[in-house]
Amino acid sequence: MVIPFSRGSAWEQPPPDLASYSFKNRIVYLGMSLVPSVTELILAEFLYLQYEDEEKPIYLYINSTGTTKSFGIQRLMQSP
């Protein structure tokens, strides 16, 4: 299987790491607790992606157990 943005055959180049592929496609992934360092990183990614292109959407993927905190984050992200 050839990675979509890879040039040549898959045997010529190693596949890109998942974090780089996601960031290139404007996907921010939250998969751990919102401690200050994680929150700062997420905000930095949002700010950079918005600076890069204000018109393109940014996607936030939340890997959560479904606690009430995750519902609060989801409601906040959906608010205008």
pTM for the predicted model, two decimal places: 0.63
For 3-33, write each residue's pLDDT tens digit: 455 555 656 667 768 888 888 899 999 888 8
Q: Are 75 and 60 in contact (CB under 8 A)?
A: no
Question: Residue 72's CB: how many other CB atoms inside 10 A?
Answer: 10
- Domain map of the chain by residue range? 18-78
Q: Does the pLDDT of residue 1 top 60, yes or no?
A: no
60-73 average pLDDT score: 72
**Confidence at residue 31, expressed as pLDDT on a 0 to 100 scale:** 86
Of residues 73, 71, 43, the one with CA closest to residue 58: 43
For 37-58, write each residue's pLDDT tens digit: 999 999 999 999 999 999 999 9
Confidence tier at 62 by pLDDT (50, 70, 90): confident
The number of CA neighbours under 13 Å toward the Cβ of 65 is 3
Q: How far apart are CA 43 and CA 80, in angstroms?
A: 18
